Chains A and B, each alone.
Chain A
Amino acid sequence: MDNNIVLEFKNIYKEYPGVHALKDVSFELRKGEVHALVGENGAGKSTLIKTCSGAISPTSGTVVVNGNEFSNLTPLASRENGIGVIYQEFNLVKEMSVAENIFLGRALRNGIVIDKKAMNEKTVELFRQLGIKIDPNVLVKNLTTGYQQMVEIAKAISMESKILIMDEPSASLTNRELDALFQIIRKLKNEGVAIIYISHRLDEIFEVTDRVSVMRDGELITTIDTADSSRDELVRLMVGRELKETFPEREVKKDNEIILEVDHLSGNGLTDVSFNVRKGEILGLGGLIGAGRTEFAQILFGVAHATGGSIRLRDEKLEIKSPSDAIEKGIALVPEDRKQQGVLLHMSIQDNITMPILKRISKYSVINRKKEKEIIEKYKNSLRIKTPSTEQLVNNLSGGNQQKVVLAKWLAAEPDIIVFDEPTRGIDVGAKQEIYAIMDNLAKEGKTLIMISSEMEELIGVSDRIVVLAEGRVTGELQKEEFNQESILKYASMS
């Protein structure tokens, strides 16, 4: 059997200050197998992949490729040893043709002239082998994401990769494209290529993989034959852990009035989404990345627009064209990407806090400084933003304190409904607890909270009720007493 091992991770550790991203991970990939790597977000899958693509080097441990042992694999050595990685984000030049992309950086030449004809012929040949039907002359920008994915795969294969790593290749594919992908995978497998297949969709794993390895909290829990396993077992393995964090005790108010009614909402990636939110409730939105949760928040906040259906606020149809409309209606959004969307890094804490209400506290366009100061002090103190001065640039604050600035900014606007998109992403444990306490208090004060979270513990711990989305549709709703990780994951991976 040993001769068949093409790639082996030996006792890999990767430590970042305060975090063990990978703990003693050992894993082997055999020739001609399709090996699934599964785990929740943040389980360490991508980090592990990066140690063999050469993007990062492990703190300790080695990677063995074709019998060569590396403690620090470089991207070049990785490629030279036949490892091809297909990332979620494509590395294609959109303004170039398909063939030019396939041969990017190693264009076929005739003297100093690029030999377009030869490249096209080779591309056609490659596509024929893979059963891909794409015109090599088409510009990549004119292809759908699914076809771009195919080109990316073909590119990796054309480099004669013996080991192919696919990081969520199906995320942007339609069902038909997915079938084509599976055919390619089977073909490659028959030719002896070893494939690591990362996916959140359990159906695919059972359809196309031979073995499956489960990762959790930076550790490799187990490797089993796919055929001997079941969906339920995989889900249990993926989530099987105790809740580590404590969440505020919440009293669920089931008979509060319905404040927000989402009615057959479509557009911006959503299809026929309906649910209600009650006053004083924390509604959790569960699902995978791209399931339509952030997309819903975008529509509610006026960043994107619906093509069908409606949202009703207190029985009144909402017409929101821009974030300023949303703010006026009492809606706030704590966005997913804090540094890019949440705060103005180059401005001071105080400038950030009053930005949405500046107009409100101005008379004849002149800002009422006294009022501004009062508001800044009030929210700085109530949220306990740790800083020597509110004139400090937000850039210089920790993630947790930056998030508090975002919260302060929205609380100052006195909204009724606050959407939290991944409220504690990249925030340390201590600050997380504070954010949870703040959220709990807000709900108790009668504010309505909608929380989008990819962290299972957080979703279960904080929410009063959970609506799960998958591929732009609502696939399930759970009351507090029905919360469990298995059913949420099951709904989330429905398609």
Chain B
Amino acid sequence: MKNTTFFQKYGIVVVLAGLIVFFTIMSPAFLTVDNLFNVARQVSMIGITSVGMMFVMLTGGIDLSVGSVLAFVNVVCAYFMVKMNMNPWAACLLCMVISAGFGFLNGVIITKWRVPPIISSMGFMNILSGLAFIISGGLPIYGFDPNFTIMGQGYISIIPIPVIIMIGIFILGWFILNKTYFGRYFYAIGGNEEAAKLAGINVISTKQMVYMLSGIFASLAGIIMLSRLNSGQPTTGTGFEFEVIIAVVLGGVSVNGGSGRIFGVVIGVLIMGILSNGLVLMNVNDYVQDVVQGIVLVIAVGFDCVSKAKSESKLKESVKNKGNAVSA
């Protein structure tokens, strides 16, 4: 009775499996433990950020500022540690707090001034990347405590630490969406804001919260990025927001809000990672990779919209048929 077909539910897994088979055949270096961990480490930043993006998109919004948060945190955290000699932990924490503040402000502008999320977050995208350039003067900042690199480059046993953090964030995301009351509010608001409000949900503060969480998760990704690169650069994160959005949409989160599962987003993130890793192993050049990513996005969203239109017209049919039937 559920309005989802098999392909809608599991299609994404089939796509992932298909890609794995394809790249295994095309490149002998693909299906090795080392390479797969490599993929996981490469996608860890997208993965961490995608959880916040997913929250935002469930409520029917979007956050284009995550790439700039990455760049901003990169520069500011480096600045705190190198130029101000701050303790690395304190610097990271402070960066997360600042990013949370920007995310919250974005949420306030969206809810109180009723600026469309795409515009408001685009504004923050410009503000933050501009600030990153101003603070760094356009130059990389380096020379951190060697211990700081562990976060991005270290391992626990054979598992890269960024991957462990990503898994932790996915579990946290699952927990919020499935176990907490406010996680359920995200779905309610994205599906029907008016009915959600009439059910007593504080729509405004819930929305402010999702943008704040998006900022926090993006800043965590920025810190990992900094630790991996070992230098703070204002140019990191260009186009990052789109990779995150593609992963979330691939994962089956509706662009209109209201539906999506964390498991799907995990698969979406993996597809993004495997696609770029596999294409690199096949020596496909960067520009072609962009083209492939774009095509994947359009097809994924197109598929979502078409299947939704179908299930909606089906629904109308069934409503019509039930129409005035006596008793249920």
Contacts and interface: CB of A to CB of B under 8 A. Distances in A.
A356 B325 CA distance: 31
Contacts of A392: 1
B201 A346 contact: no
A493 to B, nearest CB: 30
A409 B188 CA distance: 14
Given A341-B195, A362-B180, A355 B188 contact: yes
A358 to B, nearest CB: 4
Contacts of A344: 188, 191-192, 195-196, 199
Interface in B1-44: 1-3
B325 A428 contact: yes
Contacts of A397: 328
Given A346-B192, A367-B179, A396 B1 contact: yes
B85 interface: no
Contacts of A327: 200
A367 B326 contact: no
A386 B327 CA distance: 10
Interface stretch (A13-21, A140-148, A227-235, A270-278): A13-21
A359 B192 contact: no
Contacts of A303: 197-198
A367 B181 contact: yes
Interface residues of A, number: 45
A215 interface: no
B198 A323 contact: yes
Nearest to B326: A428
Interface string B290-328: 000000000000000000000000010010011111111
Contact of B195 (A342, A358, A400, A413): A342
Nearest to B202: A324
B181 A362 contact: yes
A386 B328 contact: yes
A19 B324 CA distance: 7
A300 to B, nearest CB: 13
B194 interface: yes
Contacts of A356: 199-200
A333 B315 CA distance: 27
A209 to B, nearest CB: 33
B187 A347 contact: yes
B67 interface: no
B172 to A, nearest CB: 12
A433 to B, nearest CB: 10
Contact of B201 (A324, A395, A401): A324
Nearest to A359: B181
Given A341-B195, A355-B184, A359-B181, A346 B2 contact: no
Interface in B173-193: 179-182, 184-185, 187-188, 191-192
Contacts of B201: 324, 355
A342 B323 CA distance: 19
Contacts of B315: 395
B259 interface: yes
Contacts of B187: 346-347, 351
Contact of A18 (B191, B196, B325): B325
B259 A398 contact: no
Contacts of B3: 393, 395-396
B280 to A, nearest CB: 39
Instruction: Describe A's contact surface by its main secondary structure.
Output: mixed
Contacts of B326: 18, 428-430
B191 A428 contact: no
B324 A17 contact: yes
B252 interface: no
Interface in A341-384: 341-347, 351, 355-356, 358-359, 362, 365-367
A199 interface: no
B117 interface: no
A347 B200 contact: no
Contacts of B328: 386, 397-398, 400-401, 428, 431
A5 to B, nearest CB: 34
Nearest to B258: A346
A326 B185 CA distance: 18
B323 A366 contact: no
A396 B195 CA distance: 17
B194 A398 contact: no
Contacts of A346: 187, 191-192, 258-259
Interface centre among B1, B185, B191 (most CB of A within 10 A): B1
22 contacts: A17-B324, A18-B325, A303-B198, A323-B199, A323-B200, A342-B195, A344-B195, A346-B187, A351-B184, A351-B188, A366-B179, A366-B181, A367-B179, A392-B1, A396-B1, A396-B318, A398-B322, A398-B327, A413-B200, A428-B324, A428-B328, A430-B327
Given A344-B199, A366-B179, A428-B327, 8 more contacts: A17-B321, A322-B200, A324-B202, A333-B198, A355-B184, A366-B181, A393-B2, A393-B3
Q: Top 7 nearest A-B pairs by Cβ distance? A: A398-B328, A358-B181, A18-B324, A430-B327, A346-B191, A324-B200, A327-B200
